[in-house]
Structure 1
Amino acid sequence: MIKLKLHTGILLFLLTLLTACGSDEPYSKGSDYRELPNFEKSNTPQVVLFFSASCPHCYKFDSVFEKWVEKKPEGVVVERIPVNFGHDSWTLLQKAYATLRTLNIQDEMSLKMFEAVQDKNYWLGDAKAVASWLAIHGYDVSTTEKAYSSEQAKELLKAYYAAEMRYNVRGIPRAIVNGKYEIKIKSLEGEDDTKRLQNLENIIDYLLAKDE
């Protein structure tokens, strides 16, 4: 009986070790990502990025994020949500981005919008300014002006505000996977963009596949 207890104890210890090894995950909740309380996991795989075209940190992140978007897994929805934090100038940039979204050119023009605002100091504060900027990239002026003033663009602005409030966004860039898992962007370090991109791809893939 004593031997049986000893063997059982050893077995339980080994099983504990195996369980610990099996639960060793590549990313850690708390340091690499956090699970948002009171949010349900989305039915559709998605990545949502809160940003502003005026934010230098967002610009730096988007230069890496855009490369992931170009080769993202099929079926994964990507949505960038501009925020304003109560700044009038950022609200105007929200309208400019809503125009891109209405025209369905947000992916190809997102990084160019950062460049226009932060590198070239373009003012994108009304329909004419946005249309003139997009004309440089080959888009029709009249079509852009209509999109800027469209009901769809207005509805997008309402949706952006609602999302900012719902997720209580206080800092950007902020990336949320499947509506529930927030990437700790500061953890995505690397000596160059290639390494940072690899880190970003890996953690997004991990969170997209994560079960609750």
Structure 2
Amino acid sequence: MKFGFKALAALAVAGFMSIGTATAAPLTDKDYREIKPAQSTEPGNKVEVIEFFWYGCPHCFDLEPTLKKWLTKLPADVTFKRVPAIFRQSWVAGAQTYYTLETMGELDRMHGKVFDAIHVERQAFNDIGTIATWMGKNGIDGKKFEDTAKSFAVSGKVQRAQQMSAAYQLTGVPALVVDGKYIALGNTFDGMLANLDALIERARAERAAAGKK
């Protein structure tokens, strides 16, 4: 079957329109879950995105490269932070590790390395003593790490992370939360992040409508 130039052009336009329609498809209840009641966010006029994660979670590990790519294009009116989820006592050491690295100014350098240690090197990070020993082999003072992990400041952050894990009604990780209201869902990481972008747009519109500052 042959098509003339005009017919081909019409097909191209139709194809473009169908792609645009698919991209602009409204969110459905399969694309996100609403948090009720909504949780408070940090003061300011930026849409808040939180990633709840656990260092021992293989899905969190697999998401990390895709999420890092997404973060390179983070809009100026969006703020992003991570919170180590705590569903059970065995997850506490992971939260201590995250907040200790943050306190010591080593989070950017070590966040990915901790994931690799667990999922690539198969290190058993079950307690702070073991983790501190590993840190000592990776350019961090092991004793300082352990002391910081047991400090009042880190303990307070860990307790807050545990409270947030319950308040945000998490059923698993990774969980990407928008403005304390919505959890992005998806069958693939790319799908989840596409839904995340759509939820950011929704939250942005809601803030504008409410005149939120």
Q: Same fold (TM over 0.5)?
A: yes
Alpha carbons of structure 1 residues 210 and 61: separation in structure 2 relative to 1, 3 Å: farther
Give the distance between the partners of 1:30 and 1:165, measured in 2 at CA.
Answer: 22
Name the counterpart of 1:209: 204
Q: Residue 209 of structure 1 aligns to which amino acid in structure 2?
A: R
RMSD: 3.0
Name the counterpart of 1:73: 75
Give the distance between the partners of 1:106 and 1:50, measured in 2 at CA.
Answer: 16
> What 5-or-longer segments of structure 2 have no aligned partner?
1-22, 208-213
Q: Residue 78 of structure 1 aligns to which amino acid in structure 2?
A: F
- The count of residues paired between Structure 1 and Structure 2 equals 182
Alpha carbons of structure 1 residues 144 and 60: separation in structure 2 relative to 1, 3 Å: same
Show the 5 A alignment for 1:84-95.
84-86=86-88, 88-95=89-96
Show the 5 A alignment for 1:37-186.
37-39=36-38, 42=41, 43-44=43-44, 45-74=47-76, 76-86=78-88, 88-186=89-187
Name the counterpart of 2:31: 32
Alpha carbons of structure 1 residues 84 and 97: separation in structure 2 relative to 1, 3 Å: same
SS at match of 2:50: strand
Q: Residue 39 of structure 1 aligns to which amino acid in structure 2?
A: A
Alpha carbons of structure 1 residues 41 and 163: separation in structure 2 relative to 1, 3 Å: closer
Deviation (angstroms), 1:174 = 1.0
Give the distance between the partners of 2:131 and 2:30, measured in 1 at CA.
Answer: 40
Give the distance between the partners of 1:211 and 1:47, measured in 2 at CA.
Answer: 15
Alpha carbons of structure 1 residues 35 and 89: separation in structure 2 relative to 1, 3 Å: closer
Deviation (angstroms), 1:160 = 0.9
SS at match of 1:48: strand
Pick the structure with greater CA Rg: 1
TM-score by length of 2: 0.69
The Cα offsets for residues 150-174 of structure 1, whole Å up to 9 and x where unpaired, read as 1111001110110011112222111
Q: Residue 95 of structure 1 aligns to which amino acid in structure 2?
A: Q
SS at match of 2:81: strand
C-alpha contact (below 8 Å) 2:27/2:195 kept by paired residues:
no
Give the distance between the partners of 1:75 and 1:129, measured in 2 at CA.
Answer: 40
Give the distance between the partners of 1:132 and 1:54, measured in 2 at CA.
Answer: 18
Identity in percent? 25
